[in-house]
């Protein structure tokens, strides 16, 4: 029948996605069911007709253990048999077992334990289905065999346990479904984002190559235009302001293309991990003074903001890393500090370079405000791709500086200052 085929195919798909522990569950049954006979004999438990159910569980266990030897035709039914085994071993059998031993109150804990086992063995939706159906079948079996004899207190206790367990199972199963959906979404996005980021490098490289060619010939063209104009030749009118802008446009194009590569690096770090894209062997040496200067030139500072920044870069040093990433670190720190200065309507920024025995350091201080000691560890725990005004991009600063072999730390005094100290290992050139 079509609905049976659809059901079997759906179970097979769910089992393939979630996985099945055929052999492990088989050994649990093969050992657990015979072991019960020894326990009931030794402790004199009221076993009733559970012997028959346990004997039935032994061939089911053997079929699970030797599932690899199933005929090819029968393997299509293996996932369905897995669901049947989970239903039989846990919710069905545990229901019968619990109601038979209901007067042994400690064993009531088997109910929530069985729900947890089901959730661990199959996907969340199947866990809810198997737990409910197995419980109903267990109670129906007990009613059919006239074994369902409980006083009002024990009945209330067991029903309460089942209701609570079913509610908790449903709650956590739904949460698990949401987590799985989010994980699947991220796994689907990662390769797409990685491919897009890598593909974007080609047009940025083309832009930089074209900008380099323009930069080589543009000065000669502008000089030729000026000479032609001065000699009285008829040439198109170009304003002096536009000519001055042309002298800087090539550098701006190149700088924006470089920043585009930084964004690509950020995407690759997020989807693939920093270590896959920035190995130390690929790093180069740069002057911290030059990187800092380029960062100040690149960042769109107003005249008022420039007057609030004080730089002491006399003690220059070389660092091993990626200059574009380091410029982005400075950009994040500047944005964070300037936002707080604007918010508090006071403060300035001091940046200084210092030498050390093992590490050279960059001290970045702003006096807009401080923060409590409890807030400092949280600064570096947010998403590395963000660089919002609230400082959430500081996690990126930590990731980059650590990839350079150093790190970043923060110290502050509330209402006074906040200082970020970045360290970079010294090395022999």
DSSP string, 192-256: HHHHHHHHHHHHHHHHHHHHHHHHHHHHHHHHHHHHHHHTT-------HHHHHHHHHHHHHHHHH
**pLDDT (tens digit, 9 = 90+) per residue, 301-333?**
888 899 999 999 889 999 998 888 898 899 889
- The set of residues, in sequence order, having a beta carbon less than 8 Å from that of 370 and lying 6+ positions away, is 412, 413, 414, 415, 416, 417, 418
What is the three-class DSSP state of 108? Answer: helix
Distance CA 129, CA 182 (A): 23
Q: Is residue 186 part of a domain?
A: no
214, 289: one domain: no
- The set of residues, in sequence order, having a beta carbon less than 8 Å from that of 357 and lying 6+ positions away, is 426
Q: Is residue 392 part of a domain?
A: yes
Could you tell me if 288 and 424 are in contact, meaning their C-beta atoms sit under 8 angstroms apart? yes
Tell which of 247, 275, 303 closes a domain.
Answer: 275
292, 265: one domain: no
**pLDDT (tens digit, 9 = 90+) per residue, 106-156?**
445 555 566 666 766 777 677 777 877 887 787 788 778 766 665 665 566
Q: Is residue 342 part of a domain?
A: yes
Distance CA 173, CA 274 (A): 33
Could you tell me if 298 and 334 are in contact, meaning their C-beta atoms sit under 8 angstroms apart? no
Q: Is residue 175 part of a domain?
A: no
**pLDDT (tens digit, 9 = 90+) per residue, 232-278?**
888 888 887 787 777 777 777 877 777 777 677 666 666 655 444 45
288, 414: one domain: yes
Label residue 228 by pLDDT band (50, 70, 90): confident
Distance CA 345, CA 325 (A): 30
**pLDDT (tens digit, 9 = 90+) per residue, 69-117?**
888 888 888 988 988 988 888 778 877 776 665 544 444 555 556 666 6
Average pLDDT, the chain: 78
**pLDDT (tens digit, 9 = 90+) per residue, 367-377?**
998 888 878 87
For residue 354, the enclosing domain spans 280-425
How many C-beta atoms surround the C-beta of residue 3 within 10 A? 7
Q: Is residue 250 part of a domain?
A: yes
Q: Is residue 27 part of a domain?
A: yes
Phi then psi dihedrals of residue 224, to 5 deg: -65, -40
Structure tokens at 85: 């085994």
How many C-beta atoms surround the C-beta of residue 286 within 10 A? 17
Q: Nearest to residue 330, comparing CAs of 357, 372, 354, 299?
A: 299
How many C-beta atoms surround the C-beta of residue 119 within 10 A? 20
Find where tokens 């920024």 sit: 349
Length of the chain (residues): 429
Q: Is residue 361 part of a domain?
A: yes
296, 257: one domain: no
What is the three-class DSSP state of 422? Answer: strand
417 forms beta bridges with 413
Annotate 254-304 with DSSP letters as a single string.
Answer: HHHHHHHHHHHHHHHHHHH-HHHH--GGG-EEEEHHHHHHHHHHHS---HH
């Amino acid at each position: 029948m079509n609905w049976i085929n659809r059901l079997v195919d759906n179970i097979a798909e769910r089992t393939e996605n979630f996985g099945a522990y055929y052999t492990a569950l088989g050994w649990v049954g093969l050992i657990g069911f015979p072991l019960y006979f020894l326990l009931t004999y030794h402790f004199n438990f009221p076993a009733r007709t559970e012997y028959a159910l346990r004997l039935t569980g032994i061939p089911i266990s053997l079929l699970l253990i030797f599932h690899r030897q199933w005929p090819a035709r029968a393997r299509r039914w293996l996932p369905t048999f897995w669901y049947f085994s989970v239903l039989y071993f846990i919710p069905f059998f545990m229901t019968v077992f619990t109601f038979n031993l209901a007067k042994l109150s400690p064993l009531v804990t088997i109910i929530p334990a069985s729900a947890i086992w089901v959730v661990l063995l199959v996907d969340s939706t199947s866990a809810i289905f198997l737990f409910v159906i197995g419980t109903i079948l267990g109670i129906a079996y007990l009613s059919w065999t006239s074994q369902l004899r409980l006083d009002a207190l024990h009945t209330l206790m067991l029903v309460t346990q089942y209701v609570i367990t079913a509610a908790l199972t449903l709650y956590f199963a739904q949460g698990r479904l949401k987590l799985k959906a989010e994980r699947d979404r991220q796994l689907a996005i990662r390769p797409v984002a990685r491919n897009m980021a890598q593909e974007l490098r080609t047009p940025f490289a083309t832009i930089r190559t074209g900008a380099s060619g323009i930069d080589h010939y543009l000065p000669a063209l502008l000089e030729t235009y000026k000479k032609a104009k001065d000699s009285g030749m008829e040439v198109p009118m170009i304003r002096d302001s536009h000519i001055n802008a042309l002298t800087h446009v090539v550098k701006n194009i190149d700088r924006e293309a470089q920043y585009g590569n930084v964004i690509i690096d950020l995407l690759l770090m997020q989807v693939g991990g920093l270590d896959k894209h920035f190995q130390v062997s690929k790093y180069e040496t740069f002057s911290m003074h030059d990187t800092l200067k380029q960062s100040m030139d690149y960042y769109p500072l107003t005249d008022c903001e420039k007057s609030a920044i004080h730089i002491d870069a006399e003690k220059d040093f070389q660092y091993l890393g990626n200059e574009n990433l380091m410029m982005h670190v400075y950009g994040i720190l500047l944005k964070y500090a300037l936002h707080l200065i604007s918010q508090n309507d006071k403060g300035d920024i001091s940046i200084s370079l210092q030498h050390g025995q093992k590490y050279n350091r960059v001290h970045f201080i702003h006096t807009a405000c401080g923060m409590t000691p409890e807030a400092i560890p949280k600064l570096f725990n947010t998403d590395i791709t963000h660089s919002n005004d609230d400082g959430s991009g500081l996690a990126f600063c930590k990731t980059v500086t650590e990839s350079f072999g150093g790190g970043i730390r923060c110290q502050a005094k509330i209402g006074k200052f906040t200082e970020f100290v970045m360290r970079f290992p010294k090395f022999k050139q």
